[in-house]
Amino acid sequence: MTRKNTNGTLYWFTGLSGAGKTLIGGEVHERLRELDQKKPIFLDGDELRQVLPLGDRYDPKARKSLALSYAKLSKMLASQGFDVVCCTVSMFHSVREWSRSNIDSYVEVYVRVPFEVLIERNQKGLYTVAGPAKKRNVVGLNENFEEPRFPDIILDNDGSHNIKDLANMVLDFKK
């Protein structure tokens, strides 16, 4: 018998690399800590990738497996009463749909940024179309990103809002 999450909330931040998921999610996490709500836990996809199997692979099958592992870990933590802020590209509908179906208090936050802005920011050098990036599996550049169909919240992080305001939009959703 599978238990659904009845205690904590999973705030699932999804979007392309460089969209600001970790920055906004980190602000939400800090605010939850200040409110002392259910001892929040912060999970970042880049950090999780370093500790889970397949973390050194970027093919679609490994990415899907990792994303599902993130979702299952988040479910386990939320079911123990923790609020979980998980920031990951989460490029597949199937993983987000699994989370929505299996986690009662699941809040999907899509951090949307125009691709031109991502290229301009290019914080990790992923969106360089020449050289090594051209040969890698970069989501949004040469790997498909399945844009969320029905996110609970869409945050347009194009530079027109500050991080605190974007975090407020997430926290206001749960009130």
User: Is there a domain that residue 163 lies in?
Assistant: yes
CB 126 within 8 A of CB 133: yes
Q: How many domains does the chain have?
A: 1
CATH number for 23: 3.40.50.300
The pLDDT assigned to 3 comes to 45
4 assigned to some structural domain: no
Asked whether residue 19 is assigned to any structural domain, the reply reads yes
Question: What confidence tens digit (pLDDT) does each residue in 40-83 have?
Answer: 999 998 888 788 766 566 777 888 888 899 999 999 999 999 99
Rounded CA separation 146/28 (Å): 24
Q: How confident is the model at residue 125 (pLDDT cuts 50, 70, 90)?
A: low
- The pTM (predicted TM-score) of the whole model is 0.85
64 within some domain: yes
Q: For the chain, what is the mean pLDDT? A: 84
Domain boundaries, position 135:
10-170
> What is the DSSP secondary structure assignment for residue 88, as one 8-state letter?
-
The sign of the dihedral angle between the CA atoms of 67, 69, 98, 26 is negative
CA atoms within 13 A on the CB side of 54: 14
- CB-count exposure of residue 13 (10 Å: 0-12, 13-18, 19+): buried
The pLDDT value given to residue 1: 40
Residue 137 within any structural domain of the chain: yes
Residue 133, Cβ density class (10 Å: 0-12 exposed, 13-18 middle, ≥19 buried)? middle
